[in-house]
Amino acid sequence: NKKGFIFDLDGVIVDTAKYHFLAWKKLANDLGIDFTEDQNEQLKGVSRVKSLEKILNWGGVSISEEEFLQLMDKKNTDYLSYIETMTEDEILVDVPKVLNLLKVENQGLALGSASKNARTILKKVELFDKFDSIVDGTNVTKAKPDPEVFIIAAENLEIAPEKCIVFEDSIAGIQAANAANMISIGIGQKDVLSEADYVFKDFSEISEEFITQLINKH
């Protein structure tokens, strides 16, 4: 009984969500735009381009295409400086335990992230070789909540979408998993991720029995 387990990266495997937040907040504030935690929640899982579009929209600011590209560049440079010194210490609690259990159980393992920096980060935290397939922001044309990223991951794993399980910390990502007809598991707060099939605070709350049930579900 083989299932496909697809992991988002930022906020699920590593706590980079806080670095994305810092970089976006600085950019927004520099433009005189307020940036709240609530707005940040709406940017989780959302591509770089879409995120900047949303921020400018919220602030009612319009800029030239050239400036838009410069700002995207600046945000990424800031972000890269935050993650530069990242090590395996920043892997979130019990992620390696779950990955190892799934490996032992011979399950399909994929990464499904919107980030163009995903491969860099996986190498930094030494998880690059754990996945059978990596699908990231360099492989997709449509951003979450579009299901494309997860559909491609399932195709690469050669496992039907109905037999895939997605771990996500973002609203957009849960919506993408649901649209792909996959089981959606939210990592974070129940009230924020209310559209998910299940929600856990983090992987320490996910028992071996729960994983076994997912594997044996028909």
Q: List residues near ligand G6P by CB under 6 A.
A: 10, 20, 43-48, 51, 76, 113-117, 137, 170
Asked if 137 touches Mg ion (CB under 5 A), the answer is no
Could you tell me the smallest distance in angstroms from the CB atom of residue 178 to Mg ion? 15
The residue assigned the tokens 């319009």 is 62
CA trace torsion 57, 62, 68, 74 (10° rounding):
-70
Q: Which does 43 bind (CB under 5 to 8 A by kind): ligand G6P, Mg ion, none?
A: ligand G6P
Nearer to Mg ion, 10 or 41 (CB): 10
179: Cβ–Cβ under 8 A, 6 or more apart, which residues? 145, 146, 147
Could you tell me the smallest distance in angstroms from the CB atom of residue 105 to ligand G6P? 27
- Please report which residue ranges of the chain form alpha helices under DSSP H: 17-30, 37-43, 48-59, 65-83, 95-104, 118-124, 148-157, 171-179, 208-216
Q: Which residue is at the shortest CB distance from Mg ion? A: 11
Query: Among 7, 8, 111, 148, which residue sits at the site for Mg ion (rule: CB under 5 A)?
Result: 8
Asked if residue 161 has a cis previous peptide bond (ω within 30° of 0), the answer is no
Stretch touching Mg ion by CB under 5 A, among 70-78, 84-92, 162-170, 193-201: 162-170
Q: Let me know if 15 is a catalytic residue.
A: no
Asked if 148 touches Mg ion (CB under 5 A), the answer is no
- Give the whole-angstrom CA distance, residue 134 versus residue 198: 24
- Give the whole-angstrom CA distance, residue 174 versus residue 197: 9
User: Helix or strand or coil: residue 14?
Assistant: strand
Query: Among 3, 5, 11, 21, which residue sits at the site for Mg ion (rule: CB under 5 A)?
Result: 11
Q: How crowded is the C-beta side of 115, counted as CA atoms within 13 Å?
A: 26
Q: Which of 8, 30, 34, 197 is catalytic?
A: 8
Nearer to Mg ion, 28 or 176 (CB): 176
The dihedral built from the CA positions of residue 26, 27, 33 and 34, taken in this order, carries a sign that is: negative
Q: Let me know if 8 is a catalytic residue.
A: yes
Q: Which does 130 bind (CB under 5 to 8 A by kind): ligand G6P, Mg ion, none?
A: none
Which are the catalytic amino acids?
Answer: 8, 10
By CB under 5 A, name the binding residues for Mg ion: 8, 10-11, 45, 169-170
